[in-house]
Amino acid sequence: MSHLLLSMTVNGEAVQVAAPAHHTLLEVLRYKLDLIGTKQGCDKGDCGACTVQIDGVPQLSCLTLAVHAVGRAVTTVEGLGQQAGGCHPLQDAFDRWNAAQCGFCTPGILLSAEALLRRCAGREPTRLQVCEALAGNLCRCTGYTKIIDAVLDVGRQMAVAAAASAGEVAHAE
């Protein structure tokens, strides 16, 4: 089985990894790079547990060939914390709202939710927008209520912060 040398950016760090052509990004992340935060669930696109961001867009790493990630920036749940210097506001909110029970779906949900909040760019998302953004991530424990509450909480905080900084700018002018 011949291996290819694949170069990509994972959580802000340039990596080179050798893998066979038929390996998925999920297999490379978990079994070559030891980034086991990304979960292996159904392995065929039904559950969303393997969601990562590729160039900022949430995608399923179990249905992405590792060669398709070459030259692109991959963000996993490990990188989400690093980005925020320790603990991402979403991770903090999931903790405060008890939004994780068994926790298997949480990494994927965090990455789908982060992409939604980034697209909202300081506008508070509606409950429906959050539901739709998370519609590809199955959770079999929580019934989603606390997860959605946690995401809305962070959305609200970000909207308040954006409004405050806009106010400061207006004041300074």
Partner 1 sequence: MLRLPQFQVESPDTVEGVVAALQRHAGARVIAGGTDILPNLKHFLDTPPVLVSLARVTALRGLQRDDAAGLLRIGAGVTLTQIAEDAQVRALFPSLAHAAGIVASPVIRNMGTLGGNVNLDTRCRYVNQSEFWRGSIGGGCLKSEGNVCHVVPKGRNCVAAMSSDNVPVLISLDANIVLVGPEGRRVLPLADYFHADGVAHTLARPGEVTVELQLPLPAGPRRARYTKWSVRRSIDFPLLSVALRFDLAADSPHAEVLAAKVVVGVLGAKPRVVTRLDEALGKPLSDPAVARIVSEATHAQCKPLDNVPYEAAYRREMLRVYTRRGVEAMVAEG
Q: List residues binding partner 1 (CB under 8 A).
A: 1, 20-24, 40, 43-46, 48, 51, 57-60, 62-65, 67-68, 112, 132-133, 135-138
**Alpha carbon distance 152, 117 (integer Å):** 9
Reported in sequence order, the residue ranges of 2-139 that DSSP labels E, i.e. its strands, are 3-10, 13-20, 51-54, 57-60, 73-75
Cβ of residue 67: shortest distance to partner 1, in angstroms? 5
Q: CA torsion angle for 13, 74, 48, 100 (degrees, to 10)?
A: 40
**Alpha carbon distance 96, 93 (integer Å):** 5
**Alpha carbon distance 121, 101 (integer Å):** 29
> Judged by CB, which is closer to partner 1: 4, or 163?
4
Cβ of residue 99: shortest distance to partner 1, in angstroms? 19
> Judged by CB, which is closer to partner 1: 18, or 57?
57
Query: Which residues 6+ apart lie within 8 Å of 151 measured at CB?
Result: 90, 93, 113, 116, 117, 125, 130, 134
Q: Is 159 left (phi over 0), alpha (psi -120 to 50) or beta?
A: alpha
Cβ of residue 115: shortest distance to partner 1, in angstroms? 9
Are the beta carbons of 64 and 27 closer than 8 angstroms? no
Cβ of residue 15: shortest distance to partner 1, in angstroms? 19
Cβ of residue 169: shortest distance to partner 1, in angstroms? 29
> Judged by CB, which is closer to partner 1: 73, or 92?
73
> Judged by CB, which is closer to partner 1: 7, or 165?
7
> Judged by CB, which is closer to partner 1: 32, or 92?
32
